[in-house]
Structure formats: structure tokens, C-alpha cells
Structure 1
Amino acid sequence: MAEDAQDVAEPAFPGAQAAYDLVSCLRFYSRLTVPRLPGEGDPHGVPDFRTVPRMLPLAGLLLGLPSGLMLLGAWALGLGPFLAATLAVATGALVTGALHEDGLADVADGFGGGTTRERCLEIMRDSRIGAYGGVALVLALALRIGALATLLDRTGAYAALALVLAAAISRTAALAPMVLLDPARPGGAGAAVGRPTRGTFLVAMGLSLGLAAMALGLGLPAGGIALMLGFTALAAGIVTALARRKIGGQTGDVVGACQQAAEVAGLIGLVAAIPV
């Protein structure tokens, strides 16, 4: 037996790998400064998306918390549903650096203006925002603000719980194109981070369902949560199918657009289930 065989490194602390995956998600999906954990590798390296996204629902929950707190604070100050919802959405954009909104705009421009796969990808690579992207951004922001304002009006503080839940499950739903489609650009960002395994996706979905169950226990209606989950999955499926038809695969922009569509759809599903 060889004497120079390398030993398998022991975890730095219990649950270390899950914690590493969580902070990797927080760094990748936001502008937050997350300190390096004991025993963690290069915190600035490209995360391995084959396994890291299993903790994405918890990362999404944490990323949604500042927006939820802003929503509650503005509501408590008597700023009204519309202004409170607008401030909450603005807070979310600051936390993430508008990462997903940028993807939505690029996909809308590419899919709307491109008639061939190559032309779609070329437009999506352009940093300028066109008419389709501008309209998509305005509509997505308006729908999120409108849904949150309506939830505040109908449920009060429970709207913040809905916002945080939507932030978590929409990011899980946005993994669908990564799992189901090959990268549209072999040398692009989508290919560089790797493809989540189906096991990783199942763990993420399980965590999302667990968070939904917790939200049910905290007071969100069962029918509303069911519609929220259903609308979120439907939106992810539509974006994935559209990406397959238009560009034959997925990119980072497609993933961002999928998250935005899933979050909007999920919030609308919850609103639809709560009577006036």
C-alpha cells in the first residue's frame, strides 16, 4: 500500500460543506460581503454548480430578508402599500445588484428581436437594453410591486413572509433550465459554473417545500401556497421551453429571466388565492 496516499480532509466543523455551499450561493447571487469560513477554499472562485445550489432556497430566503424587513418597516411607518412595496423591491435590487433583472432584460431583447439562434445570442450578449428589455423590466417591477402592495392591503405583515418565501422558491425554480437544458454557449458563464445534478435539484426542491410548510405554519393560507408553488413551476417551465425553442439551451441570462418570471408568477398566485 502506498505510503504517500493523501488523506481525505476532515470537515472544519459539523455541517461545513452545507455552510460552504450556502455562502457560495450568497456571494454568487448578491453583492453582499460574506466572510471566508474556517476551512473554506477560495471564496472568490467560481462555485461548482453541480452541488452548490442545493442550498439555494436558504440563500434565497436570506437574500429576501432585507426586502421583507424594508416592507414591514415602511408599512409600520404608515407609508402605504404602494410605497412600501416599491421600497422593498428596490432593496432587493440593491442586495442582488439587479442580477436577475439584467438577465430578464437581455432575454427579452434577444428572444424578442432575434429571428435565429445566433442572432438571439448576439443580442443577449449586447449590454445595451432595447425596447423589449425595457418593457419587460417595467412590467416585471410593476407586477412585483403591485402584487406586494395588494398582499399588504389584504394580509398586512404576512406580505413580508410571502416576499421572503417567493425569493426562496423562485431561485429554486430558476435551476430548471440549468438542469433540463445544455449550455447554449459552450464557453459561456452557464457552462463555466457546471450543471446541477438532478440530486442537487431534488434537495433544493425539498428545502423549498420545507420552507413552504413553515410559511403555512406561520399563517399563510394553504390554498395560496399551493397556487404560489404551482404558478412558480409553470413560469419556470414556460421560460425553459422558450429557451429550448429560441436558442436550443440555457445561459446565465435565461436563469435570471426564469427567476424573475417565477417570482412574479408566485406572488400573483398567492394574491389570486386571498379574497378581497
Structure 2
Amino acid sequence: MRSFIRHYLLALQFFSRVPVTGRLADWVGFSPVMLRASAAHFPGVGWLVGGSVAFLTWGLLVLLPPGPFAPLVAAALGTAWSVVMTGAFHEDGLADVADGLGGSLNRERALEIMKDSRVGAFGAIAVMLALLCKVALLALLGSISTGLMVAGAFAAHVVSRTWPLLTIRLLPHVGEAAQSKSKPLAGQISGAALAVALLWCLGALVLVISAQAAMLLIANSPSGVMACAALWLVAVVCSVLAWGWMHRWFARRLQGFTGDCLGAAQQVCEIAFYLGLALASGPLMRVLQGATL
């Protein structure tokens, strides 16, 4: 348990702006081996980030005057808070990948561009479109169901932080590892660490499915529970498909991954999760509503 907590706090320290400083940071410690072990808790970081975004979104929807624009305002402020919580860590990776792979077809040149701290046209456009997609899709979910929007905001942050670990497992680290913050992650993630990450992910999905079933009063309706589970399964499948596309892109263009690739994959998987929820919500929400009659 001591190692579990230390590795989780190290993941928070590395992948969020949650303050782990002073005596707490001294107790946690740091080593490349510890950072590699903390990869198992990347989805656990999503629990905290997604949970805080979900709580803020719910509070705004309660406090804002009712109307068609309330979900849009809540989605925009919730998305802004997620950026504050992570310090735009993943958005920065998306921008670098878009600049590198969009700016050159040559592998070495693309990697060189990705190391440049300046943001080019491809990167700026990619981040702008990503944020726009998140806000629009979350607002759409909010117009369908407040609970769906809040639960989706939570689950997406957990699920989208799970699949990039498969990239670490399946692809080699490329680039100048000595200058890379992701160098400790260059080693293949262990099967045990991957199992822990999947448990974080599964726990989030069980939580949102159970909560939605309870809110819709369909706990004793087999058809309703199945429809509820199918709704989230579609979102997960869309997220996995998005990761598969990104993984294939990295393998073909870079023959491996960098830390920026992991951040870019998280962003695309998060958007795909919202899209899956939105696509499935129409037919499946009608089933859910019918199950409560």
C-alpha cells in the first residue's frame, strides 16, 4: 500500500498541477524506476482530474439559470478547469505532434520539429479544434442529460489516459531520449502495471454505469441495465478505435513514440469518448427512458 500511494502521488506530481511539494514530495521521492512504475496510475490521475471537472460541471448546471446555453457555459468552464488541472500538459503534446507530423513527411525532421518549444500553425489549429470539439460534444451531452454530461466528463478523463499505456507497451521510444522528459517511460510497461491501469479504468466505468442505473431507477430492469452498459461500451469502443488510429500513425510515421505522442493520443481518445456517447445516446436513451415507464 505504501508503494501504491507513493507511485500514485508521483503520477499526480508528473502529470498534473496538483501540488505534491515539501515534506510530501520528500516522502514520495523520485527515481526513473518509480516513474516507470507510476505509469500504472495514469488513469488514476484521470479520476482526480475528471472528478473535479465533473463536480464543477454539476455545480455550474445547478447554479446557472436554466436555458439552452447553460450546458455550453458549463462545458466551456469545465474544459478550462481541466487545462488548469493538468497545466495543458496533454494539449502541448497534441500541438507538438501536429506541428511535427503535419510539418514534414521526413521522420527525422518531424522529430526535430516536435522538440521545438514554439507552436506552429498545425499545432495551434489542432489545439483549437480539440478544445472546440470537447466543449461542443459536452454541451450536446448536457442538452440530452445532465447526468450523462457529468458522468461523461469524469469517465472520459480516466478512459483516455488508459490507452496510451498500450502505446508504451507496443512501440519503442524514439527521439533523443537523453533530453526527453518521457525517457523513464521508454521501457516497456509491465503486465502488472498495465493490469492496475485497466482496473482504474474498469472501476470508473462500473461507477458511472451503476450511478446512471440508480438515477434512472432501472436497477431491477435487465433491459435498462443492458442499454445503460451498451451506452458506455460504445464510448469505450470509439475511444479504443481512436487510439488504434493514432498508434498506427505513430508506428508508420515515427516507428515509435515520444512523450508528445502519449499526450496527443490522450486528447484524441478523450474526444472520441465524448463522440461515442453522443452517437449512442439517441437510440439508447430512448430505451433507457422506456425502461423507467
- TM-score, length basis structure 1: 0.88
1:144 Cα offset (Å): 0.6
2:222 maps to: none
Letter paired with 2:47: L
One of 152, 155, 158 as aligned partner of 1:162: 152
Following the alignment from structure 1 to structure 2, what is the Cα–Cα distance between the partners of residues 241 and 117?
Answer: 15
Partner deviation per Cα, 1:117-145 (whole Å, 9 max, x = no partner): 11100111111111211111111101111
1:70, distance to aligned residue in structure 2 (A): 1.8
Counterpart pick for 1:191 among 183, 207, 217: 183
| Residues 24, 47 of structure 1: 8 Å contact kept | no
Q: Secondary structure at the match of 1:66?
A: helix
Is it true that 1:52 corresponds to 2:38 in the alignment? Answer: yes
Using the aligned pairs only, state the percent identity.
32
Taking the aligned partners of 1:143 and 1:42, their CA distance within structure 2 comes to: 38
Q: Distance in 2 between matches of 1:171 and 1:138?
A: 20
2:206 alignment partner in structure 1: 213
Instruction: Say which is worse superposed, 249-258 or 230-239, in terms of deviation.
Output: 230-239
Letter in 2 for 1:147: L
Rounded to whole Å, the distance in 2 between the matches of 1:207 and 1:170 is 12
The residue type paired with residue 219 of structure 1 is Q
1:253 alignment partner in structure 2:
260
Q: Give 1:192 deviation, angstroms.
A: 3.0
Q: Distance in 2 between matches of 1:86 and 1:18?
A: 34
Distance 1:72 1:241, change over 3 A: same
Counterpart residue identity of residue 184, structure 2: A
Deviation per CA, 1:14-56, whole angstroms, max 9, x where unpaired? Answer: x11111111111111111112555993425x556343212222
- Aligned 1:1-276 pairs, distance under 5 A: 15-34=1-20, 36-37=23-24, 40-42=27-29, 45-46=31-32, 48-78=34-64, 80-185=70-175, 186-187=177-178, 188-195=180-187, 196-219=189-212, 221-275=228-282
Q: 8 Å contact 1:147–1:267 — kept in the other structure? A: yes
Q: Which has the higher helix share?
A: 2
Which range moved further: 214-223 or 250-259? 214-223
**Residue 57 (structure 1) shift:** 2.0
Gaps of 5+ in 2: 214-227, 286-293
The letter of the residue matching 1:246 is R
Compute the displacement of 1:147 (Å): 1.1
Structure 2 Cα separation of the partners of residues 210 and 41 of structure 1: 25
Decide whether aligned partners of structure 1 residues 115 and 68 sit closer, same or farther in structure 2, where only a CA change above 3 A counts.
same
User: Structure 1, unaligned stretches of length 5 or more?
Assistant: 1-14
Paired position in structure 1 for 2:288: none
Quote the Cα distance in structure 2 between the aligned partners of 1:241 and 1:49. 26
Q: TM-score, normalised by structure 2?
A: 0.83
CA distance 1:181–1:148, shift in 2 (3 Å) = same
Q: Matched residue pairs, number?
A: 261
How many angstroms apart in 2 are the aligned matches of 1:193 and 1:21? 14
Residues 81-126 of structure 1 deviation map (CA, whole Å, 9 limit, x = unaligned):
1111000000000010000000001001111111111110011111
User: Do the aligned partners of residues 49 and 41 (structure 1) sit closer, same or farther apart at CA in structure 2, a change above 3 Å counting?
Assistant: closer
